[in-house]
A and B are shown apart, each in its own frame.
Chain A
Amino acid sequence: MANISWKDYEKRVPDDHFFYVRSCIRQTFFPGAETALLNILRNELGKDVFEDSRHTTCTGIGYHSDIIPLETIMTMVARQLSLMTEAGYRNLLVSCVTSFGIYLEMLDMWKHFPEKLEQTRDALRKTTGREFELPQSVVHASDVVFHFRNEILKRSSVRLMNCKSGEPLKVVEHVGCHYAKIFPHEGFGGAEFPSVLSGLVESWGGTVVDYPERRHCCGFGFRHYLIQENRGYSVSNAKVKFESMAPFQPDFIVANCPGCAMFLDKWQYTLAEMTGKTFSAHGHGIPVLTHEELAGLMLGMDPWKLGLQMHQVQVESLLDKLGILYAPIEKYRLAGVDIKPPARPSVLMV
């Protein structure tokens, strides 16, 4: 193919018929985001997104903590694919960036070491009696949202602009490392210039902040934060990133991996407690959204239904900027029942 620079590399994304596999962290910490994505794809865009309740974890947390042998992971992935084959789908839609990396890694290993593929088929047959076929394409949730960004824009009255001043919002986009850094061809714009989120932001009216530590790791990484002794390393990484983006005073951060979103959000509280400093001018911190939550807001979904009140950094200031209406008293009412709001942090203004 003509040699084009990575900046303009476009990845092929199928238009329909996805077999969806969930993310452990996303459904645990951001259940609203998960259902929002499915809601958007199925109801708003009318896509066929099939989900088999029997599918399991992709073993990501264990794999990245070195406690699961490779063969086990291969068999688990094979089992997922067998569910997909059974449901008759060929396009795998992955919700979490880490599992996206794992599925691609396994497929890549099978490509280079066919005997491994045979062993996995044999192992799966012995343990579950199942057969599986390799998927035609593997895409991440943010690929799909990026792919249908114009359709979503058509259906949306919201623009990533300050509703009063009309200024485009300054957005920091953070792409999960396993999205394109392992297999550059699997991400829009390759490893160096991933455009899956910046494309979203720019097409929805925002401007992307190009700050010095833009490509720096957010500090999530299972290996970093699982054991308390390592967490210092994890929070220090996030600190480097925040200190580098702070001068640009971004309006919010959008991330496509549940881990990055969660930690960029949670570490702001920890850092505030540790250093007494917040990274936003007014002391509320920089709100962090995942791409599904952003898409949900664009499509007018209720912020509290999206579960944005569960974020560490409150999002009201962002909602005001976007001009999205929300009922403050509903913030902590779940199905009509008042739940006790979380304790107020000492430094981070809520």
Chain B
Amino acid sequence: MNPKTIKWIIFVIVLSAIVLSVYFVSLDRGSFRDGVFVTTAAFLTLFIMSFLYKDNPYYKFAEHLFVGVSAAYWMTMGFWGTMVPNLVAKLWPGSVRGVLPALADKDPSLWFLIPLFLGIVLLMRLSPKGGWISRWALAFIVGTTAGLNLIRYLRSDFIQQVNNTILPLVDKTEAGISFWGSFSNIFIFVGVLCGLVYFFFSKEHKGFFGGAARIGILVLMLTFGAGFGYTVMARISLLAGRMTYLFGDWLGLIK
């Protein structure tokens, strides 16, 4: 049989499966709406899964649908969640009376002219000549990112982590010195220092320094191995969830 015929046969099978599914699920749940919903979700799930075998038209369909729907979803959320309450309502409170009455009677806040201006400036890219002015908006964004993150990372990732690492190397408990506790603390101490040595840019990894960097890499490898192993179970539960949907909610094989 030539490949084209096979493709058409598969298409007919899939199509009839969808129709049958809608019919039976509607019958089972007593609502056509449910039938359509459950079937759509189930077949989209199968279409995506088919990618694991290889790329195919069904995956392409699901993928393209996903892109369109999700792009519009986030745009809508941006419009109703940010644009209207945080810009329009802030500048012209009266204009949102019809949609967000709670915000309509507040005083306008002129600070929000800044993002309005920058937003419009960014859109100047669409004009063939004034495109360069959009750089102003980009400059503002990059400045904001740099300024905010500098202190944020300094606080949470630098200062706090140094603080956490200051531990006594000898772990004294009421019962005397705990071997495991002390060993763990020494491990953390050495591990953090060697890890930092590994990240040094201005010194060649040679001699004692090289040895420390080597230990640093090994500690990082332990970290990565542990991180990987730890996440596996959660990932499988996601699959189990999808399978429960297919075999339970859709086919009704799992009660």
User: Is chain B a partner of chain A in the same complex?
Assistant: no
